[in-house]
Amino acid sequence: MAVYTKIGKRDLNYIQNFFKMEKILDYVGIKKGIENTNYLIFTKKQKYILTIFEKRVQQKELPYFMNLMSQLSEHKINCPRPLQNPKGRYLFKIKNKKACVVTFLKGKDKIKLLTKDLYSIGKNIARMHRVSKKINLYRKNSFSPLNLNSILNRINKKKIGKLSKNLVSEMRVTLKEIKKNWPKSLPKNIIHGDLFIDNIFFYKKKFYGFIDFYFSSNDFEAYELATCINALCFNQIKKRFFYDKNKTLQLLNGYESIRKLNKKEKNSLNILCKGSALRYLATRAYDYINTPKSAIIKKKDPREYIQKLAFHKKINSFSSYIK
34 and 126 in a common domain: no
pLDDT given for residue 86 in this prediction: 96
pLDDT given for residue 297 in this prediction: 65
> What's the distance, Cα to Cα, between the start and end of the chain in Å?
35
Mean pLDDT of the chain: 94
86 and 159 in a common domain: no
Which of 103, 130, 158 is the C-terminal boundary of a domain? 103
Torsion of CA 183, 277, 205, 240, to 10 degrees: 140
56 and 170 in a common domain: no
Q: What percent of the chain has pLDDT over 70?
A: 96
pTM score, whole prediction: 0.94
pLDDT given for residue 57 in this prediction: 77
The pLDDT confidence band at residue 35, using thresholds 50, 70 and 90, is confident
Residue 71 lies in a domain: yes
pLDDT tens for each residue of 255-273: 999 999 999 999 999 999 9
127 and 99 in a common domain: no
Residue 4 lies in a domain: no
22 and 154 in a common domain: no
285 and 245 in a common domain: yes
**CATH of residue 96:** 3.30.200.20
The pLDDT confidence band at residue 1, using thresholds 50, 70 and 90, is very low
119 and 59 in a common domain: no
Element spanning 288, H or E? helix 263-290
Mean pLDDT calculated for residue range 213-221: 97
Q: Cα angle vertex 137, ends 152, 259, to 5°?
A: 90
Residue 23 lies in a domain: yes
190 and 305 in a common domain: yes
Residue 110 lies in a domain: no
**CATH of residue 227:** 3.90.1200.10
Residue 108 lies in a domain: no
172 and 78 in a common domain: no
Mean pLDDT calculated for residue range 71-99: 97
pLDDT given for residue 33 in this prediction: 59
Q: Is 265 exposed, middle or buried, given 0-12, 13-18 or 19+ CB atoms closer than 10 A?
A: buried
* Alpha-carbon span 202 to 46, nearest angstrom: 19
Torsion of CA 188, 252, 202, 3, to 10 degrees: -50
- Length of the chain, in residues: 323
**133 three-class SS:** coil
136 and 38 in a common domain: no
* Alpha-carbon span 42 to 111, nearest angstrom: 24
> Which residues constitute the domain of residue 14?
9-103
163 and 97 in a common domain: no
* Alpha-carbon span 115 to 118, nearest angstrom: 6
Which of 103, 123, 145 is the C-terminal boundary of a domain? 103
Based on the structure, what is the number of domains in the chain? 2
* Alpha-carbon span 69 to 207, nearest angstrom: 18
* Alpha-carbon span 252 to 235, nearest angstrom: 17
Residue 2 lies in a domain: no
Residue 241 lies in a domain: yes
For the ranges 26-35, 160-169, 171-180, 260-269, the lowest mean pLDDT is seen at 26-35
Residue 109 lies in a domain: no
233 and 84 in a common domain: no
Give the residue, 32 or 307, on which the prediction is more confident: 307
Which of 103, 125, 160 is the C-terminal boundary of a domain? 103
Give the residue, 293 or 316, on which the prediction is more confident: 316
